[in-house]
Amino acid sequence: HEQLNKRRRGDIYTYSMETRYYSRNGDVGWALLAVSLVRHKDNKPLYFIAQIEDINDLKQSEQENQRLMERITQANDALFQEKERLHITLDSIGEAVVCIDVAMNITFMNPIAEKMSGWRQEEALGAPLLTELRITSGDKGPLLEDIYRADRSRSDMEQEIVLHCHNGGSYDIHYSITPLSTLDGDKIGSVLVIQDVTESRKMLRQLSYSATHDALTHLANRASFEKQLQQRLQTIQESPQHHALVFIDLDRFKAVNDSAGHAAGDALLRELASLMLSMLRSGDLLARLGGDEFGLLLPDCNSDSARFIVTRLINAVNEYHFMWEGRLHRIGASAGITMINGHNCQLTEVMSQADIACYAAKNSGRGRLTVYEPQHALTSSKGMMPLEEQWHMIKNNHLLMLARNVAPPRTPEATSFWLVSLRLWTSEGEVMEERAFRAGLADSALHHALDRRVFHEFFHHAATAVASKGLSVALPLSAAGLYSATLIDELLEQLEHSPLPPRLLHLIIPADVIVKQAQTAAATLRKLRQRGCQVILSHVGRDLQLFNLLTPHIADYLLLDSDLIANVHENLMDEMLTSIIQGHAQHLDIKTLAGPVQNPQVLDTLSRIGVDLIYGDTIAEAQPLDLLLNTSYFAIH
């Protein structure tokens, strides 16, 4: 009405309004109502003309547009919030993030990227990536020219790539680069994520060094020495060269170690290592083989030159004055030399020859050297034990089986199985541990004979009692025994005819069978496991090459080397290496075993690392197997 009154008064000439209406069928729609006033020529109002236009489609479009705008607004708000969250994430992430366009120019850097590169984002925006980020292959290697081609997988820690900071300093890095594309697939740039692996790579180098070097003297260790010697032996047949292998054994070292203490002994070993190293040629290899024994490889060296070099070393050690806490100590050294050529190039043989010659030198008055001669082979190097005596000990002398219970470190009272070690008696009544005795056996037939003796004693005198008590027992089997198909068949035949369930028999086998003869060893190990036996690979330590050859279902347990775990509670590198082995074992679904554990600190460390089983005096002392079988002890499964 107000609009009509205004129109009658002449305030307005027309008006319109949108209104809703009901159709005859009851539907509600929208219409545009336009009203005009018709006047007489004297300006008096005559009548109204009303026009009604259906604008239902228009209103629906407006409503749809409004809803669309609301969705756009919501999407913009969400996009803004997501962008804010992304920036917060990129700013707080622990890795450097750099965005580049298709021309390889920088479009974004997060704070970590700014820190590692030495450039602020404002300075770097629009600049070429490889101009602002100096990335080299190795610390002093060439600059990286193609960021895409040099990309490496996250697991490849050995690829040494270095980022050099603009302000000085550098970072060992690993990086990954991901292309960015539109929905249509058009490339718009890439995102470069850079990870600082300086500490990880440093740790890897330390582990690699630890695996090949003696921790006390920093000389090559036995594993590294044998590996480099083997490399020389593999090429000697193709060359007219001669090499010399030398074993050096210190005289009277035990007296110094016992009277002045282990600290004095360690200091003496370090000083003598430095002394001998200073007297060698640049290409010579000096290693500590263990205890007070050293190995020396003299490449491209004839017999006369080897004698000259070793004589100088022996004289220097014999004349060395070692002062400790005001007291003078004198020691000496004996050495054995064997020559390596195309006719004498088997690792075990040349090692045995050098060992035999070294003992011959010690036996001839100490402080001397001896060059190996064939007649020296009539006796073994360890104690000059005749071969006849070795055979007699294996076949006739007393053999004692000692049992140690193996249990989880957190519940040492819960025995999993019993680990058997051997003691043998010489004809003079002296006791020898199995490991020391086997080290002096140069013939695989001797190893076979000892394995057969062990299995015969066990199956004829112990297997029935072991089965009745439900005990699980682990027996030693030599590498030579594993390689003998005949011996393995004999073992399985005895097992089949015994009352002992195969699952209760564990076999302890040196892990290097996998490294030396992978295919043969793997086939035999699978055969033993298929028959129900459980396999323990022993002496697993610093040679991580083993894990490149291990596959699932090849073994049940890995027995860590005793030297590795002896000081694991106070040696960070040993702890790290043990942790790495534990991780590999878990990945392969193989349990780990460590021992002998002699103190609670080692026990706690192994438990924290996650080692599955341990043995040693911390749990219980070893006892003769026959004594265990005559007690009231029964296994509970």
- How do beta strands 321-324 and 332-340 pair? unpaired
Provide CB contacts within 8 A for 513, sequence distance 6+. Answer: 479, 482, 483, 521, 537
User: Is there a contact between 136 and 160 (Cβ–Cβ < 8 Å)?
Assistant: no
* DSSP-derived 3-state class of residue 382: coil
Structure-token pair, residue 263: 């600290």
Side-chain-side CA neighbours of 495 within 13 Å: the count stands at 22
Query: Which residues have a catalytic role annotated?
Result: 292
Distance CA 479, CA 460 (A): 23
Distance CA 342, CA 207 (A): 35
Side-chain-side CA neighbours of 277 within 13 Å: the count stands at 14
Side-chain-side CA neighbours of 579 within 13 Å: the count stands at 13
Q: Give residue for tokens 């697991």.
A: 155
Distance CA 299, CA 236 (A): 10
Neighbours of 140 (CB within 10 A): 7
- Cα–Cα separations (whole angstroms), residue 156 to 153, 375, 382: 6, 52, 45
Nearest Cα to 62, choosing from 86, 30, 94, 90?
A: 30
Enter the DSSP assignment of 304.
H
* DSSP-derived 3-state class of residue 334: strand
Helices assigned H by DSSP within 21-171: 56-92, 111-117, 121-124, 129-132
User: Is there a contact between 204 and 195 (Cβ–Cβ < 8 Å)?
Assistant: no
* DSSP-derived 3-state class of residue 401: strand
Sign of CA dihedral 510, 515, 517, 520: positive
Query: Is it true that the peptide bond before 510 is cis, omega within 30 degrees of 0?
Result: no
User: Is there a contact between 246 and 304 (Cβ–Cβ < 8 Å)?
Assistant: no
Structure-token pair, residue 67: 């809803």
Q: Give long-range contacts, CB 8 A cutoff, 24+ apart: 565-572.
A: 565/594, 565/595, 565/597, 565/602, 565/606, 566/598, 566/602, 567/602, 568/602, 568/605, 568/606, 568/609, 569/599, 569/601, 569/602, 569/604, 569/605, 570/601, 571/215
Enter the DSSP assignment of 374.
G
- Strands (E) in 217-331, as ranges, are 243-251, 285-290, 293-298, 321-324, 327-330
User: Is there a contact between 253 and 271 (Cβ–Cβ < 8 Å)?
Assistant: no
**DSSP code string of 505-529:** EEEEEETHHHHHSHHHHHHHHHHHH
Longest dimension (CA), the chain: 154
Lateral strand order in the sheet of 285-290:
285-290, 293-298, 243-251, 332-340, 369-371
* DSSP-derived 3-state class of residue 556: coil
